[in-house]
Amino acid sequence: MARISKAKQIEIQNELEALESFRLAMADLRDPRRQQGQRYSLELVVLVALMASVCGADNAEQMATWGEAHEHWLGGLFTMRHGTPTQDVFLRLFGSLDPEQFGAVLICWANLLSVRLAALDKHIAIDGKTSRRSFDRKKRKPTAHTVSAFMTQSGLVLATIPTKRKSNEITAIPELLKLFDLSGATITIDAMGTQTKIAEDIIKHGGNYVLAVKNNQPTLHKELIATFAAADEQTACRSDAQNPKRTEKFVEAGQSHGRNEVRRVELIRDLSHIGCAPRWTNLAFVARVHRHRTILSTGKVSEELAYFIGSDENATVDDVARLIRQHWSTENRQHWVLDTAFREDEARHRAGNCAQNMSILRRIALNLVNSDPNRKVGVATCRFRACVDRSYMIELLTGSARLIDSSSR
């Protein structure tokens, strides 16, 4: 009998660790299919789909092709009397899986990863995304829209939840906040989520908030505009010696995407002019951001004012500027990556719950890619490497497996 080299033994051990980690993460996932005539186990179909997604497969057809190419290797991990899953098998399973239950698999992985990253990342941005091609005119089925919680420093998607039909982010966000630990974290949300109940929920669960304010909160918006206008007038009418410095200021400038931008952030802690302040739990400050942009190629100048409210009385104006700036990393590092590296906007999965579940699958794959502490290339290149280097793919999968092992001891 041929001896197995030490390197091969380590490779096999890593593969077994990855497989066991998936079994633990999927322990509570219920198989919606009938047992009669079932050819492929739930575990096999989901695991092959995820590994294929990490390796660059963006749809069910490509997942089936990846499975066929790795049939011999997969046969050493699973019993496959009928070969690897076909395109129809992936579509039927993900079309029938309960998105909330499958979303719990994402949360399980993210919680394990966040144990390692929690000390470094306390800023969670919440934002929604629509899969543009998921609508179905014939069945009058709208596009799939999900709301996600994103750790801005690590690039980790903590949780995601689909918005229900005839609903929106306002009803989805409170449900999302229940899915992960908010203790010590600052939650940033755009104007859609600026609701008194959402602010109350964040504080109740041990977090702080920074919320954008627009015309969907007309009274608060007008009072913020009036407060800063009064502060501007006071500053103009008094000398530096007379000015009580009630406005804290921070200015930063940068150049990117072919434009120069200067951002001036102003913060006021005196809420005496905010009549509706008592409605907002633990409201500690209001902020205004003035953005001045110049397009380098044309010289065109644009200006924008944005208003925010926050609850952390210990936050400095520098902190608030950083949180507001980093909030949009959920667009650059999650939504944009899903559209460019994972081709989510081009996906046409429409049957049943397929669009929602495939969206969750992509986020699990994105988390695995972002969990590589040594990654120096883009997500698309990282997925290509995983495709051509199976040991690297297993490394991505076992990063969480080792966390599971250590947390269970």
Q: Helix or strand or coil: residue 357? A: helix
Q: What stretch of H or E contains 301?
A: strand 301-310
Q: Range with the lowest mean pLDDT among 23-27, 141-145, 305-309?
A: 141-145
The DSSP line for 234-283 is: HHHHS-TTT----EEEEEEEEEETTEEEEEEEEEE---TT-TTGGGSTT-
Q: What does the pLDDT read at residue 286?
A: 96
Q: What is the mean pLDDT of the chain?
A: 83
DSSP code, position 20? H
**What percentage of the chain exceeds 70 in pLDDT?**
82
Residue 8 has pLDDT above 70, yes or no: no
Residue 240 has pLDDT above 70, yes or no: no
Residue 301 CA: distances (Å) to CA of 89, 168, 400: 53, 34, 47
Is 205:174 a contact under the CB 8 Å cutoff? Answer: no
Q: What does the pLDDT read at residue 7?
A: 65
Residue 398 has pLDDT above 80, yes or no: no
Residue with tokens 């929920």: 201
Residue 289 token pair: 């951001």
The candidate with the shortest Cα–Cα distance to 371, out of 191, 177, 109, is 109
Residue 185 token pair: 């974290």
Q: Helix or strand or coil: residue 84? A: coil
Q: What is the mean pLDDT of residues 106-110?
A: 77
The DSSP line for 387-406 is: HH-HHHHHHHHHHHHHHHHH
pLDDT band (50, 70, 90) for residue 181: confident
Residue 226 CA: distances (Å) to CA of 128, 275, 276, 313: 30, 11, 13, 22
Please report, for the chain, the start and end positions of each structural domain, with discontinuous segments joined by +: 6-96+372-407, 102-185, 218-332
Residue-wise pLDDT for 129-143, tens only, equals 876 655 555 655 556
The strand pairing partners of 248, in sequence order, are: 267
Q: What is the mean pLDDT of residues 235-260?
A: 71
Residue-wise pLDDT for 149-178, tens only, equals 998 888 888 888 887 755 577 888 998 998
Residue-wise pLDDT for 63-93, tens only, equals 999 999 999 988 887 888 888 999 999 999 9
Q: What does the pLDDT read at residue 254?
A: 79
Q: What does the pLDDT read at residue 383?
A: 93
DSSP H helical ranges for 311-371: 317-327, 329-330, 336-340, 354-370
Q: Is 140 exposed, middle or buried (0-12, 13-18, 19+ CB in 10 A)?
A: exposed
Report angle CA 109, 110, 115 to the nearest 5 degrees.
105
The candidate with the shortest Cα–Cα distance to 134, out of 150, 119, 145, is 145
C-alpha 16: how far from chain center: 28
Q: What does the pLDDT read at residue 119?
A: 47
φ/ψ (deg, to 5) at 408: -90, -5
Q: What does the pLDDT read at residue 275?
A: 93
Q: What does the pLDDT read at residue 237?
A: 67
What lies within 8 Å, CB to CB, of 1 at 6+ separation is: none
Q: What does the pLDDT read at residue 350?
A: 66
Q: What stretch of H or E contains 148?
A: strand 144-151
Residue 262 CA: distances (Å) to CA of 244, 251, 275, 302, 396: 26, 7, 31, 11, 39
Q: What does the pLDDT read at residue 64?
A: 95
Q: What does the pLDDT read at residue 344?
A: 80
Q: Helix or strand or coil: residue 112? A: helix
Q: Tell me: domain 218-332, CATH 2.60.40.2230, correct? A: no
Q: What does the pLDDT read at residue 202?
A: 96
Residue type, 291: R
Q: What does the pLDDT read at residue 107?
A: 81
Residue 257 has pLDDT above 70, yes or no: no
Distance of alpha carbon 269 from alpha carbon 136, whole angstroms:
49
C-alpha 159: how far from chain center: 7
Residue 49 CA: distances (Å) to CA of 162, 301, 361, 370: 20, 47, 8, 18
Residue 360 has pLDDT above 80, yes or no: yes
Distance of alpha carbon 176 from alpha carbon 174, whole angstroms:
5
Is 154:117 a contact under the CB 8 Å cutoff? Answer: yes
Q: What stretch of H or E contains 92?
A: helix 87-96
pLDDT band (50, 70, 90) for residue 302: confident
pLDDT band (50, 70, 90) for residue 403: very low
Q: What is the mean pLDDT of residues 313-336?
A: 90
φ/ψ (deg, to 5) at 343: 55, 40
Is 228:266 a contact under the CB 8 Å cutoff? Answer: yes
pLDDT band (50, 70, 90) for residue 112: low
pLDDT band (50, 70, 90) for residue 1: very low
**What percentage of the chain exceeds 90 in pLDDT?**
37
